[in-house]
Amino acid sequence: MEELRGVELLPEPGEPKILSAVDPSTAGHEGQWRAEVTGWAPVVPDTLPYRPRRIFSLASGVIIALFMGLIVVLWQSDLLLLRLPPPTSEWAFEDTEIRTLQEDGLSGEGVRICMVDTGISLTHTSLENTNVVFKDFVGNSQTPTDYGSIAHGTLMAGLLLSNDFQTGIAPNATLGMAAALSANGDNNTGSESRVADAIRWCIFDFEADIISLSLGGEQDQSASREGPAVSATRQAIDAGIFVVAAAGNDGGAGDDGFVSAPGNVNLVITVGASDRNGDVWSQSSMGESLDSDGNLRVYPHQKPELTAPGVNILSTGENNLWYTSSGTSDATVFVAGALALILEAYPDLKPNPESTTACIELVKQALADSMNSNLQHDTTQGYGQLNAKAWLNQFTGSINC
């Protein structure tokens, strides 16, 4: 048996009594070494043909066609229209600290603001349950109507009153909307006498605390007397009613150097527009150094008095949609709305039958001081940018005006 050292003995398949001697040093002996004569050879399994699973059949094609048809029907019927919410202009409310005053509980409750504009449509869901009094100077509508291009009045009203998605500046204020402008192509226009009639309605019928004028006309330097809209604005001022007006949108290379009328009236708060970075909007109008009587304007009545957010501002539009707009119109509403919050906090500032211009002068002084106490004025930025909290903080204790 000495000669069998180093080999392995493997039983044959089917006959375990027969042993085969295997040299383990032979490469591959474990796999297919044995010859067929020993009665066994490894069997290689038969290969099964591979048939990929059918991913498309007539039945699945019909199902997909029916599904796509259903999608088209739903899309055309507006039932499958997915509208992503637009980006808000929350930065404007935050930068002006209007949200801070709202967090303190102020919402414009008890304050009456009148707008002279293109009217208003109340079909937008964000304007539901708002307090609106409507007067039509364009047509004869007894229900709120917007006659403007891109529903300008509805845009301005939404900045003030919106109660959904983007909360307005003073959502609980009562708004008087006098429709005096209407679409003329891409612009909104109206006769100056109609605008004057609307302002007087705000004074005597609606009994406004604030009149917000996101409108304006060119100052006629050759005229021997002021126009009817300016005269009506002076009536409001004399009655102690605050008037906030747009500086105008003719800035840049073609700027005539004057704010729009009636923003030129001395005691009106005239507003330019700024962007998200705090820079003055390129189209915001420059103010003049002399008033209509030829006297040098002095602190705090230099024009414009301030800037407020007015570039790419989101607000309510027609057909329950949201639009963005740019201009001193938007900026005007931010200041008028901030003033409404201040009048809610200090109701003694609101006009009454015995009012003079004293409270207006006090509020304008506080406005200028809240932005710039060193008497510095810029012909486009005014005394600075709106800061509602700082403006409110100028009033302490009882009001005596």
When divided into structural domains, the chain yields a total of: 1
Range(s) of the domain holding residue 251 = 91-393
**CB atoms < 10 A from the CB of 395, how many?**
16
- Concatenated DSSP letters of 67-123: HHHHHHHHHHTTSS---PPPPP-HHHHHHTTHHHHHHTT---TT-EEEEEESB----
Residue 54 belongs to a domain: no
| Residue 138 within a domain | yes
Tell me whether residue 282 is exposed, middle or buried, using C-beta atoms within 10 angstroms of its C-beta: 0 to 12, 13 to 18, 19 or more.
Answer: middle
Query: pLDDT at residue 55 above 60?
Result: no
How far, in Å, CA of 219 to CA of 204, rounded?
26
Helix (H, G, I), strand (E, B) or coil at 367: helix
Summarize pLDDT for 72-94 with one digit per residue, the tens.
554 455 444 445 556 889 999 99
**Phi, psi dihedrals of residue 365, rounded to the nearest 5°:** -65, -45
Chain CA centroid to CA 48, Å: 67
Report the CATH number at residue 329. Answer: 3.40.50.200
Q: Which of 313, 324, 254 is nearest to 284 (CA)?
A: 254
Using the predicted structure, report yes or no on whether residue 327 has a pLDDT greater than 70. yes
pLDDT, residue 373, reads 73
Query: For the chain, percent helix, then strand, then coil, each to nearest 5?
Result: 30, 20, 50
- Give the distance from CA 262 to its chain's centroid: 27
Assign 42 a pLDDT band (cuts: 50, 70, 90): very low
Percent of the chain with pLDDT over 90: 69
Q: Are the CB atoms for 187 and 149 separated by under 8 Å?
A: yes
Report field, pTM of the whole predicted structure over 0.75: yes
Helix axes 228-238, 192-200, angle to 10 degrees: 20
pLDDT grade for 5, boundaries at 50, 70 and 90: low
In a domain? residue 50: no
CA angle 278, 266, 282 (to 5 degrees): 30
Indicate left, alpha or beta for 396 from its phi (over 0: left) and psi (-120 to 50: alpha).
beta
Residues designated as active site:
117, 152, 329
Does pLDDT of 321 surpass 90?
Answer: yes
Closest CA to 214 of 307, 368, 328: 328
- The whole-number pLDDT of residue 88 equals 87
Query: Is pLDDT larger for residue 67 or for residue 221?
Result: 221
Instruction: Classify residue 6 as left (phi > 0), alpha (psi -120 to 50) or beta.
Output: left
In a domain, 9, yes or no: no
Gyration radius of the chain's alpha carbons: 39
- Within a domain: 240: yes
Q: What pLDDT, on a 0 to 100 scale, did the predictor assign at position 12?
A: 58
Q: Would 284 be classed as within a structural domain?
A: yes
What pLDDT sits at residue 193?
A: 95
- Which two tokens mark 185? 């192509």
Are 302 and 259 within 8 A, CB to CB? no
Domain for residue 125, yes or no? Answer: yes
pLDDT tens per residue, range 341-387: 999 999 999 999 999 999 999 999 999 999 987 889 999 999 999 99
pLDDT tens profile 168-227: 999 999 999 999 999 888 788 889 999 999 999 999 999 999 999 999 998 887 776 889
- Where is pLDDT greater, at 315 or 22? 315
pLDDT tens sequence across 109-142: 999 999 999 999 999 999 999 999 999 999 999 9
Burial class of residue 37, CB neighbours in 10 A (0-12, 13-18, 19+):
exposed
pLDDT confidence of residue 112? 98
- 217 CB-side CA count, 13 A: 17
Whether the pLDDT of residue 13 is over 60: the answer is: no
How many angstroms separate the CA atoms of 194 and 204, rounded?
A: 15
As a whole number, the mean pLDDT across the chain is 86
With respect to residue 209, please indicate whether it lies within any of the assigned structural domains: yes
Question: Between 270 and 30, where is the model more confident?
Answer: 270
What is the chain's length?
401
| Separation CA 41–CA 30 (nearest Å) | 12
Among 238-247, 288-297, 329-338, whose mean pLDDT is lowest?
A: 288-297
pLDDT tens string 252-284: 988 999 999 999 999 999 999 999 999 999 999
Rounded mean pLDDT, 94-118: 98
